[in-house]
A and B are shown apart, each in its own frame.
Chain A
Amino acid sequence: MPANTPTQYPRRRFLQTGATVTAAATVTTTAVFQLGWTASGAWAVTDGVASGRGLTGSAFAKKVNPFIKISTDNRVTLVVGQAEMGQGISTGLAMVLADELGADWSNVAWEQAPNDLAFALPGGFQSTGGSGSQRRLMPLYRRGAASAREMLIAAAAQKWNVDEKSCRVENSFVLHGNGEKLSKLSFGALAEAAARQAVPAEPPLKDRSAFTIIGTSPKRFDVPAKTNGLAQYGIDVKLPGMKYAVVARSPIFGAQVASFDAVAARKVKGVSHVVEITSGVAVVADNTWAAMKGREVLNMKWKESGNDKVSTVSIREQFIDAAKGAATKAREVGNVAEAFAKAGDIIEAIYETPYLAHATMEPMNCTAWVRPDQCDVWAGVQAPTLAENAAVATTGLSKDKIHIHTKFLGGGFGRRSESDFVIEAVELSKQLRLPVQVLWTREDDMRHDFYRPMTYNVFKAALDDKGMPLAWQHRIVGSSILARRAPQNLRGGLDGTSTEGAATLPYNVPNFLCESVTVNTHVPVGFWRSVGSSQNAFITESFIDELAHKAGRDPFDYRRALMANNPRQRRVLELAAAQAEWSKPAPVGRFRGIAFAECFGGMVAQVVEVSVNNGTLKVHRVVCAADVGLAVHPEIVKAQMQSAIVTGLDAARYGRITIENGAVVQGNFHDYPVTRINDMPLIEVYLTVNDQPPGGVGEPGTPPLAPALCNAIFAATGKRVRSLPLSQTDLDKT
């Protein structure tokens, strides 16, 4: 925006229940003014003297929880309630606040908010997941910043005795007039008076064309501390008198403690306590190593459970049996039974996907300190509200006594939306009456996860006389995530997370049926980066490739033709094909595959280029096109696509959790391998430009990778991969 150009703020209505102004200001040179949105929906303002940690965490801030703090030296602190797990949201939402406020980006700071519903998603839940932060919170954050801006303008207009509408905001200043008649006051100089202004009922929001920060790619706030060892993750928390603990948990999910040798464990130097808790037996020590040594000699015995003989093989047999039984319809169009009855050739296929672990780089851990009147929790958590609920249930304390200190997450991927690791630490600290950190070893983390569900899929399709799909029937057998996590969200017994990415396709098929069969086992299942779409895109996008092949059509042209009614999706597919030069032959010895998937408000198409020599696969290049609507920070979006592609590569090539004798077999990165630098492809990411609102970013890049890769393998070898991971498939042509 050119300097001295008044910003146009078109008036938009939103619900406002009322406004209050409280507290008088005490001004010092470092006074900090908070202008914020209360959980009850009313604006409130307060003042305070900045200490090292600002006001967040104070009793008043617990009620008010401001998004924005302005200090008298004109520094603006942007408070973000979402968890930073590498997706860059601390920078992204701060950009939204700063842009709407009119702040000078070179003089802003970011702060992690505490657990407080003032930062909640629509629906009243503070949580980071489902690629939803910008998608669902941008309006709330913009409204918070716009209201603060209007109060600053009102304060300036009052001082100058001019009309508010004639004032404008630029780089943390309010301005009026031009040239010799220019009046200018900094936010810092106005903060005290602004805090006393009436709260605007309808703060106008900037027009998108007036954004100056959104859409640019400034350096992330979190990077410097992540390059010198000073970034604080949950595992790095140290408290005076803090103990370190590890927990012996049953290898077979849900089995109960029969006996253990506490005496032997206590003899280990440094071990101070051996305590039975709900999830198993905790060994508590002066350092992590001593706790691990103590656990080794516990001689744990577990009671028999009904699951001692369960294996991946037996679960698969259950799934195959269940596939023949009743199913719940997820989506139906036309009449597949009639279509199949009239059709000629019927194409059938079985597709299978394994259980997957999250294997976040930082294993689960949590530090808790429970006192009679307060409970503090330090951990990387995706859902502070759930952690708070868990702490309430474990301690019996009221919500206002629970303080969740969200640290940087060393990876989330859905795993840190669970609260099991929080409950353990809180329960242990409550028993010990000491601050305690519970660390999960890599093996603990791998063997006590909430896994991406294993699935068994039965496909049936028929083509019309032009080779286009006439009928499509897909039956998915697997376990329900929502049955445990959110049973209230089951719809007539249907778990939408099982069928997402399969029930709705971008392709026009006149007779379509997607159905779900739920078989719950003792193996816990949970949200895994891109959830149902992560496996369902592999399945549906491989099967559509099969149909294209059957029809003798080019896989890109075939998809494109079927996307006639979905122009936005089609443009993404076309962009990927164009950038990968799909219409030209691949380099000698290389073969291409293409796939498209849409989830969490993001649309992504990928072209993968591979070679397969003597059964050895090499992935050379991934071309990724994405439509995520408004890209708040385009370089972070591209980085997230890179990351999501690697997650897809991990799953497609290597990821496999198996169960034997009721327990997880894999334990560490030797038997649960992941992508390393020496098996990385080149990755190119292209974003479409449009005027849509922000869509999802963190997850949508994962689903298309596996099918694009397997479709490339088909092009190279003629071998159709219908079961993952590829490490279990012989790709040798001969």
Chain B
Amino acid sequence: MAITFQLNGKKQTLEVEAEMPLLWALRDVVGLTGTKYGCGMALCGACTVHVNGEPVRACVTPVATVAGKNITTIEAAVETKLGKVVREAWIEAQVPQCGYCQSGQIMSATALLSKNKKPTDADIDTAMAGNICRCGTYNAIRAAIKDAAQKLA
């Protein structure tokens, strides 16, 4: 079936199965590979995208449920004013190691900072606990979020 939504600010119509997770629609059909597959069960956060500004796990989100909504992926999220600051903080802190989870980490972090300009450690824990990093870059992620928050203040 044809499903239409806004993808990174542009109208996107896809002819796909309604139940196909948004993750595979983005990766295999649209060809945007910045959003990663990690678990398929909303356990690791690697596939995090923004749906109407909210962080959502694309691996368990049927594409039909985002019809008419605004989807933002990592490729566009780091081009906004806030996203650029977050990305710069990530680079400054040299956060990524293997880097595979970092799209999802940055998507969760930008969603947090868009609503909470001064996140506490507890706020960061809550917003970021759904994102696994097997390289253990968590302390650098926390530092980068705090750095970005300062720069956005």
Interface positions of A (Cβ within 8 A of B) = 85-88, 219-220, 222-233, 235-236, 238, 244, 269-270, 286-290, 359-363, 408-413, 439, 441-442, 635, 639-640, 642-647, 649-650, 668-670, 674-678, 680, 682-683
B24 interface residue, CB < 8 Å from A?
yes
- Cα separation A351 to B6 with both chains bound (whole Å): 57
Closest B residue by C-beta to A413: B134
Interface positions of B (Cβ within 8 A of A) = 16-17, 20-21, 24, 27-29, 31-41, 43-44, 46, 73-75, 78, 87, 90-91, 94-103, 106, 124-126, 128-129, 131-142
- CB pair A228–B78 under 8 Å, yes or no, is yes
Question: Looking at the complex, which one of A232, A287, A361, A680 makes contact with B20 (CB distance below 8 Å)?
Answer: A287
Question: Looking at the complex, which one of B41, B96, B131 makes contact with A670 (CB distance below 8 Å)?
Answer: B41
**Chain A residues closer than 8 Å to B131, beta-carbon distance:** 676-677
Question: Looking at the complex, which one of A408, A647, A677 makes contact with B99 (CB distance below 8 Å)?
Answer: A408
Question: Looking at the complex, which one of B34, B44, B134, B136 makes contact with A229 (CB distance below 8 Å)?
Answer: B34
- CB pair B91–A219 under 8 Å, yes or no, is yes
- CB pair B40–A441 under 8 Å, yes or no, is yes
Closest A residue by C-beta to B136: A646
**Chain A residues closer than 8 Å to B40, beta-carbon distance:** 441-442, 668
Closest B residue by C-beta to A226: B99
Question: Looking at the complex, which one of A231, A362, A647 makes contact with B136 (CB distance below 8 Å)?
Answer: A647
- Cα separation A236 to B103 with both chains bound (whole Å): 13
- Cα separation A269 to B140 with both chains bound (whole Å): 44
**Chain A residues closer than 8 Å to B132, beta-carbon distance:** 361, 669, 674, 676
**Chain B residues closer than 8 Å to A224, beta-carbon distance:** 91
- CB pair A227–B78 under 8 Å, yes or no, is yes
- Cα separation A441 to B31 with both chains bound (whole Å): 19
- CB pair B134–A642 under 8 Å, yes or no, is no
- CB pair A680–B138 under 8 Å, yes or no, is yes
**Chain A residues closer than 8 Å to B129, beta-carbon distance:** 676-678
22 intermolecular pairs with C-beta atoms under 8 Å apart: A219-B91, A223-B91, A227-B102, A229-B75, A229-B78, A287-B20, A288-B37, A359-B134, A361-B36, A361-B44, A361-B100, A361-B101, A363-B38, A408-B98, A408-B99, A411-B98, A646-B135, A668-B39, A676-B132, A677-B128, A678-B125, A678-B129
The 7 closest A-B pairs by CB, nearest first: A229-B34, A646-B136, A410-B100, A226-B99, A86-B97, A86-B98, A229-B74
The number of inter-chain residue pairs (CB within 8 angstroms) is: 181
- CB pair B135–A289 under 8 Å, yes or no, is no
- CB pair A230–B75 under 8 Å, yes or no, is yes
Smallest Cβ distance from A129 to chain B, in angstroms?
Answer: 15
Question: Looking at the complex, which one of B38, B90, B138, B142 makes contact with A227 (CB distance below 8 Å)?
Answer: B90
Question: Looking at the complex, which one of A223, A439, A644, A647 makes contact with B37 (CB distance below 8 Å)?
Answer: A439
- CB pair A220–B75 under 8 Å, yes or no, is no
* New contact pairs (5) apart from A223-B95, A361-B98, CB-CB < 8 Å: A361-B44, A408-B98, A442-B38, A646-B135, A649-B136
Closest B residue by C-beta to A286: B28
Smallest Cβ distance from A77 to chain B, in angstroms?
Answer: 22
Given A230-B75, A669-B44, A675-B138, decide whether A411 and B38 contact each other with a Cβ distance below 8 A: no
**Chain A residues closer than 8 Å to B27, beta-carbon distance:** 288
**Chain B residues closer than 8 Å to A680, beta-carbon distance:** 136, 138-139, 142
Closest B residue by C-beta to A676: B129
By CB atoms of chain A within 10 A, which of B38, B128, B140 has the most? B38
- CB pair B134–A226 under 8 Å, yes or no, is no
- CB pair A639–B99 under 8 Å, yes or no, is no
**Chain B residues closer than 8 Å to A230, beta-carbon distance:** 34, 75
Smallest Cβ distance from B19 to chain A, in angstroms?
Answer: 8
- Cα separation A668 to B44 with both chains bound (whole Å): 9
**Chain B residues closer than 8 Å to A649, beta-carbon distance:** 136
Smallest Cβ distance from B86 to chain A, in angstroms?
Answer: 9
Question: Looking at the complex, which one of B28, B34, B41, B98 makes contact with A668 (CB distance below 8 Å)?
Answer: B41
- Cα separation A674 to B44 with both chains bound (whole Å): 10
Closest A residue by C-beta to B92: A219
**Chain A residues closer than 8 Å to B126, beta-carbon distance:** 678
- CB pair B43–A669 under 8 Å, yes or no, is yes
- CB pair A289–B28 under 8 Å, yes or no, is yes
- Cα separation A233 to B29 with both chains bound (whole Å): 18
- Cα separation A551 to B4 with both chains bound (whole Å): 73
**Chain B residues closer than 8 Å to A233, beta-carbon distance:** 36, 100
